[in-house]
Amino acid sequence: MRLDPWKCPECDQPAKGTLETIPGIALLLFDEDGNAEYFGQTDVCWDGQTTVRDDRDRVRLICADGHEWLASINETNPQPIWRTEP
């Protein structure tokens, strides 16, 4: 995969990684009247992990110093282009 730009525009370090969203279930405790409190623990749903992308499909990268920027991503390896003749 190729990312452009792959280095931080502010400090020139390579990206540490992509920003991701991961759904989780914040566990609740109920008393006998139905009032809820947070238990203080979240079950992380790793199967729902997705890369944060903008409306132009750019990914959000982050460097080790916490700077964030948008980068275009090419996730495919170079392959021949197959065309169907009309």
Residue ranges in contact with Zn ion by CB under 5 A: 8, 10-11, 63, 65, 67
How far is CA 10 from each of CA 7, 18, 65, 67, rounded to the nearest angstrom? Answer: 9, 16, 10, 7
Closer of 11 and 29 to Zn ion (Cβ): 11
Residue 17 token pair: 């990684």
Closest approach, Cβ 6 to Zn ion, in A, equals: 12
Closest approach, Cβ 70 to Zn ion, in A, equals: 14
Residue nearest to Zn ion (CB): 8
Nearest-angstrom CA–CA distance, 64 and 15:
7
